[in-house]
Amino acid sequence: MTRVARTIAACLTAGSLLLAGVAADAKPRLTPEQALAKKLEGRVAGKPVSCIYLPRVIQTRVYDKTAIAYESGGTIWVNRPTSGAGILDDDDIMLTTPFGSQLCSVDIVRMIDRNVGFWRGTVGLGQFVPYTKVKAEKEG
């Protein structure tokens, strides 16, 4: 074997071992439903509402093919769309056109592919379910 061939073989072996180590350390990826459940741990669902006040929303997260979560102070509002949930993709851009300062269950969200800028479809919002942290009971 030539020196170049030995060097190439050594590099390929080292690369294979590195990739095997990374694969062994990789944690199983959570499904979108599991990721949402993890986000909501320690919280309890409240009564669903038709609208939320947008100026208080500080973060929005899409859970692929599952739901959209809107964080507002100590509350996480979860919206499970009534139509189009199958196109929800956390890598897409959400485009909403609310009327006024509220986002409501009658509003439509347009999903736009982040990479090419094409419109991918629309999502019909459902009710917004508030999730708040469970308050610890005081011992008396």
Average pLDDT, the chain: 86
In-domain check, residue 20: no
In-domain check, residue 122: yes
Please tell me the total count of domains within the chain.
Answer: 1
In-domain check, residue 19: no
Range of weakest confidence among 4-8, 18-22, 67-71, 105-109? 18-22
Domain carrying residue 51:
32-133
Note the pLDDT of residue 139.
55
Rg (CA), the chain: 22
In-domain check, residue 109: yes
In-domain check, residue 103: yes
What are the angstrom distances between the C-alpha of 4 and each of 86, 107, 131?
52, 64, 62
In-domain check, residue 1: no
Q: Are strands 119-124 and 128-133 parallel, antiparallel or unpaired?
A: unpaired
pLDDT digits 0-9 by tens, 25-38? 567 888 999 999 99
In-domain check, residue 71: yes
